[in-house]
């Protein structure tokens, strides 16, 4: 190992990436429950959204998707809500529901009540988990 007196200053500070994992991309939910994901940018630099799995299967077309901008989606399908907000709202509903059923003191719940609660919370998390896509080899 070199001591500080043996290191020749170059004026360049090395930068090392902590990891190369992609950041999670935000997704949005429209008034009908369709999930819209970021799909790039158009020539004007606006974000383009795609709905890979519409609620109504008849809405799924074949081939390239129309490059919907955020404004176009909101105009056509109503206001968009960030998906994380929808998940948080659903978790709060489950929480409220179980507190009403079993009482406000979770420490006094029976084991089966706790297991039911945890299963309901896990189901909400699974519903909003990122979709794993198959990559063609």
- The string of pLDDT tens digits covering residues 2-59 is 555 555 666 776 666 655 545 566 788 888 888 888 888 888 888 889 888 888 888 7
CB 109 within 8 A of CB 102: yes
> Are 74 and 93 in a shared domain?
no
Is residue 111, in this structure, part of any structural domain at all? yes
Average pLDDT, stretch 85-95?
A: 86
Residues counted in the chain: 137
Does residue 103 have a pLDDT over 80?
Answer: yes
> Are 90 and 55 in a shared domain?
no
What's the number of domains the chain is made of?
2
> Are 98 and 61 in a shared domain?
no
CB atoms closer than 10 angstroms to residue 73: 21
pLDDT at position 62 is 77
Question: pLDDT tens digit string along 105-126?
Answer: 989 999 999 999 999 999 988 8
> Are 66 and 91 in a shared domain?
no
Assign 128 a pLDDT band (cuts: 50, 70, 90). confident
> Are 64 and 95 in a shared domain?
no
CB atoms closer than 10 angstroms to residue 68: 21
CB atoms closer than 10 angstroms to residue 1: 3
> Are 33 and 72 in a shared domain?
yes
> How far is Cα 40 from Cα 68, in angstroms, rounded to an integer?
10
Average pLDDT, stretch 66-92?
A: 86
Q: Which two tokens stand for residue 62?
A: 């074949």
Is residue 13, in this structure, part of any structural domain at all? no
> Are 68 and 88 in a shared domain?
no
Does residue 93 have a pLDDT over 80?
Answer: yes
Is residue 12, in this structure, part of any structural domain at all? no
Is residue 133, in this structure, part of any structural domain at all? no
pLDDT at position 135 is 47
- Full domain range(s) for residue 99: 83-127
Is residue 2, in this structure, part of any structural domain at all? no
> How far is Cα 80 from Cα 27, in angstroms, rounded to an integer?
9
CB burial of 24-56 (b: ≥16 within 10 Å; e: otherwise) equals eeebbbbeeebbbbebeeeeeeeebbbbeebee
pLDDT at position 24 is 60
User: Angle at the Cα of 51 (from 20 to 131), degrees rounded to 5?
Assistant: 45
Is residue 137, in this structure, part of any structural domain at all? no
């Amino acid at each position: 190992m070199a001591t500080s007196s043996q290191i020749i200053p170059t004026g360049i500070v090395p930068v090392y990436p902590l990891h190369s994992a992609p950041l999670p991309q935000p997704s949005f939910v429209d008034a009908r429950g369709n999930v819209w994901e970021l799909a790039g940018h158009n020539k004007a630099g606006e974000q383009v959204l795609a709905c890979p799995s519409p609620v109504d299967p008849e809405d799924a077309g074949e081939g390239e998707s129309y490059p919907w901008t955020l404004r176009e989606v909101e105009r056509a399908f109503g206001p968009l809500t960030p998906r994380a907000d929808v998940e948080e709202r659903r978790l709060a509903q489950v929480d409220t529901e179980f507190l009403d059923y079993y009482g406000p003191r979770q420490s006094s719940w029976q084991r089966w009540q706790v297991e039911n609660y945890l299963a309901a919370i896990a189901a909400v998390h699974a519903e909003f988990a990122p979709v794993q896509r198959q990559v063609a080899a």
